Amino acid sequence: LIPILTPPSPNLSIHKHKMVFYECLVQVKPHTNFKALTAMVKQVSHKVVENGGLVRSIQNHGIRQFPHRVQASNPDFKTGQRYYEQGRYVSLFYDANPSTQQQVSMILDIHDAVLRQTHLKARSKVDYITMQNPKKNPYVQKVLREEQNKFQKES
């Protein structure tokens, strides 16, 4: 079944939660129809944007061998197959609040073609720099001085 997508409402809900950069790795059945896969990705993207998020990237990594046999939650309705040795990997990178991430996870849980999904809080290089002690990091100190000088000039 292909879900029907509706355009986003003009009244986008604004959440008080902080936007988090997520990486979602989805393992899909290898024989999934391209249209069904596209519809699933569109539905997820639509949900992220509808809730005020931003989809940064969608990557199709192709059909790959699983490290071990994966059991589907339900047998395939066409072939009756329950266990899979290979599958298609799809990555979605998006900024969203935690409640939107839970909604995306529920959408993927309902979809018949999805074997597994994993959500990770992705980290950027800036996160690794700022996680260190800012007093010892010369780059962070330089940016803080520049911002302080800019603020003083404006005052």
Mean of the pLDDT values across residues 79-84? 88
pLDDT tens digits, one per residue of 111-128: 989 999 999 987 766 666
On whether the CB atoms of residues 99 and 17 are closer than 8 A, the answer is yes
3-class secondary structure, 109? helix
Q: Where are the alpha helices (DSSP H) in the chain?
A: 34-50, 98-110, 125-131, 138-154
Q: How confident is the model at residue 76 (pLDDT cuts 50, 70, 90)?
A: confident
C-alpha of 20 from chain center = 10
Strand order in the sheet with 54-71: 54-71, 83-96, 20-28, 114-121
**Residue 29 CA: distances (Å) to CA of 7, 79, 90, 120, 123:** 28, 12, 11, 21, 28
Angle at 22 between CA 17 and CA 23, to 5 degrees: 170
Greater confidence (132 vs 45) lies with 45
Q: pLDDT value at position 135?
A: 67
pLDDT in tens, 102-112: 999 999 999 98
Residues contacting 56, CB < 8 A, separation 6+: 21, 93, 94, 95
CA distance 141 to 5: 48
Percent of the chain with pLDDT over 70: 79
Of 84, 154, 145, 93, whose CA–CA distance to 120 is shortest?
Answer: 93
> What per-residue confidence (pLDDT) applies to 147?
82
**pLDDT-derived band at 16, boundaries 50, 70, 90:** low
pLDDT of 10 reads 47
pLDDT per residue as tens digits for the range 27-42: 999 999 999 999 999 9
